[in-house]
Structure 1
Amino acid sequence: MTILRTGPSERKGPRLSDGAFAVLLVLPGLALFTAIILYPLIASLVTGFFRQDLRFPGRQFTGLSNFADVLQRDFWPTLEHTLVFTVGTTVASFSLGFALALALNAGLRGSGFLRGLFLFPWVIPGVVTSFLWMWIFNANYGLLNGALIKLHLIDESVTWLGEPGTAMFAVIVTKTWASFPWMMVMMLAALQTVPGELYEAAAVDGAGMVRRFRSITWPGVRAIAVLALLLEFIWNFQHFDTIYVLTGGGPANSTQTFAVAVYQSAFQGFDLGRASALGGLWMLLLLVMVSGYLFLSQREDRTR
């Protein structure tokens, strides 16, 4: 008696190459990127060459007139305000976050609890943070004016959000409060990669705190610090919600950044062509910053 053994049937047919399989994996993400980012971006840039009103159908080709109008009128003041806000917020959040990271890394008592406490501003939504600080800076019943008057540092209430000289300061303080936890986490992670043996050897050699910081701490965290600063700069350069909620770009456009100016041109002035032209110039500046970030990232990868 013969027993026939049947094995698994062999499937015959064309097989996908590794390249074709990789393309199939990439296609859904590429389609999503094209539909959500690439197509709206190109359509927005094209709109910059037309005169188009959001309230009326149709548009008229105007060439570079929108870009010329933006450069002659609002671009440079808006760039100045954007840079003041971006540099001020980036430097302040980095300084505060790095100082707290140094304190936590030094084995401060209760550092675990403090680390969680300092992360609290980071998890609060930006709009909620803005309304909180709007109450603090309020000229009539704000907490800041009340505290300063009781300490006899000012004689009368200051309109922090209503004066050009103080509105930008208030906006920078608000954004710094929301941003420093991220800087603290980044710098604390960088500090924990520095070998403790280096500090012990430096202490044996009689190196002081400043010398240890200059010779060990900063060289060990410099690469991460530069990348964190550049990332924070890029994010702040395109920040919107804090400024819009607190001041709306005022008073007298003293806090009007690119993000606020594009929004106001499109949805308050109804001028889509001008808003697109301003957004296109803004995007070029962002591309320069992103290119710098990618260059520094690749250089850091090569040095490892």
Structure 2
Amino acid sequence: MAITTEPPPVRTAARAVATPGRLRSAAARDRTFGFMLAAPALTLFLVVAVYPLFAGVATSFYEQSLIRPERRFAGLDNYAAVWPDFVDRLGTTLVFSGLATVFPLAVGLALAVLLNSRMRGRGLLRGALMLPWLLPGVVVSFLWAWIFNDSYGVLDHLLSGAGLPEVDFLGRPATAMAAVVVAKTWNSFPWVMVVALAALQSLPREQLEAAALDGATRAQRFRHVSLPHLAGPLALVAMLEFIYNFGSFDMIFVMTGGGPGTSTMTLAVSLYRYAFTEFSLGRAAAMGVLWLVALSAVCAGYFLLDKKLESR
């Protein structure tokens, strides 16, 4: 009698069927996990940035003093009180921001072109030129205040030694703004130099060599090849530098305190005086809100211009 044996049945692993309910549940878990990861940073952002912003806007509608706890609703009175000062300080702030942006760009670009060429000691010179950027703004302010001082300043000492008349750089309205711009330029040009130098070194050498073969001079190669390559990075640097200068406080406050008179009185220094000299938090908040609106308009103009240039 023949005995036949059948192979044992093969057990297959059960596959989980991905139902729509399970997919929604997995997606919800992923969203919850992502929110839990972002919650600490979001909380910090709300506490540090959003809450002070709304609190400042609310304070601008109240008459509130730094030395008295009570406050009274004032409506738009604070804005009406600070509006003439805001218009005047806005002009001074724009002048300072523009000059303190253009000059570092020019100096930084010129040094970047110089350091991009083959020269001895280029690495050492790069490191030395980075020193002004590494110093805190307050240190730079005291350094240049000492240089421009009319009693014991280095610059007046050199002028006197050369037989030239001494100049009170920080005490005259005509020269105070120039002195602050010089100090800001010395402090800011290194990072412009670094960005421009990095952009120049990323420029393909083949483009410069092709232009040279076509008979272009060095100036023509820089104008038609290098400069268009630098346009994007320099535009971004200029915008960031302008925004930073628009809110600059330490250098002007240390060197001139907004004087002489109101020749260097920017929005930042004016807001400080409202809050900590006149102790009027309501007017200081109103000045801050107007300042924010002006800066937002500047940023919006930049983004519109950038979008228009990209569309071409």
Deviation at 1:151, TM superposition (A): 3.1
- Distance of 2:162 and 2:190 partners within structure 1: 29
Match of 1:201 among 204, 210, 213: 210
Match of 2:298 in 1: 289
Decide which of 235, 245, 269 is 2:254's aligned counterpart: 245
Structure 1 unaligned regions, length at least 5: 1-12
Pairing partner for 2:73 from 41, 46, 61: 61
The 2-side partners of 1:84 and 1:141 are apart by 29
Deviation digits for residues 28-79 of structure 1, max 9, x if unmatched? 11111111111111101111111111111111111111112211x2011101
Match of 1:223 in 2: 232
Q: Does 1:21 align with 2:33?
A: yes
Which of 194, 199, 212 lines up with 1:190 in the alignment?
A: 199
Separation in 2, partners of 1:108, 1:67: 57
- CA deviation vs aligned residue, 1:241-262 (integer Å, no higher than 9, x gap): 0000001111101111111111
The answer to whether the 8 A contact 1:238-1:258 is kept is yes
Distance 2:75 2:47 in 1: 26
Match of 1:5 in 2: none
What are the within-5 Å matches in structure 2 for residues 264-303 of structure 1?
264-292=273-301
Equivalent in 232, 236, 252 of residue 245 of structure 2: 236
Aligned to 2:168: 159
> Mapping of 1:73-84 within 5 angstroms?
73-84=84-95
Distance of 1:285 and 1:107 partners within structure 2: 44
Which structure would you say has the larger Rg? 2
Match status 1:52 vs 2:61: no
Q: 1:27 to 1:300 in 2, by over 3 A?
A: farther
Question: CA separation in 2, counterparts of 1:293 and 1:182?
Answer: 21
Match of 1:38 among 50, 65, 86: 50
Q: 1:22 to 1:292 in 2, by over 3 A?
A: farther
Query: How many residues are aligned here?
Result: 288
Percent identity, aligned pairs only, is: 47
Question: 1:91, 1:20 → 2: CA distance?
Answer: 48
Question: Aligned letter for 1:44?
Answer: G
Aligned-pair distance for 1:285?
A: 1.6
Task: Specify the SS of the correspondent of 1:74.
Answer: helix
Cα RMSD for the two superposed structures? 1.9
Do 1:231 and 1:293's aligned partners in 2 also have CA atoms closer than 8 Å? no
1:258 maps to which of 263, 267, 278: 267
Q: Does the Cα contact within 8 Å between 1:227 and 1:293 map onto a contact in 2?
A: no
Q: State the one-letter code of the partner of 2:241.
A: E
For 1:72-131, what per-residue CA distance to the aligned partner results, in whole angstroms no more than 9, with x for missing partners? x20111011101111111000000000000000112321111110000001111111111
Q: TM-score, normalised by structure 1?
A: 0.90
Q: Is the 8 A contact 1:48 1:273 kept in 2?
A: yes
Secondary structure of the structure 2 residue equivalent to 1:114: helix
Provide the residue aligned with 2:15 in structure 1: none
1:187 Cα shift? 0.7
Q: Distance in 2 between matches of 1:49 and 1:114?
A: 53
Identify which range, 106-115 or 169-178, moves more after superposition. 106-115
Question: 1:86 touches 1:237 (CA, 8 Å); kept in 2?
Answer: yes
Look up the equivalent residue of 1:270 and give its one-letter code. Answer: F
Amino acid in the other structure paired with 1:168: M
User: Within 5 A, what are the aligned runs for 1:89-168?
Assistant: 89-152=100-163, 154-155=164-165, 157-168=166-177
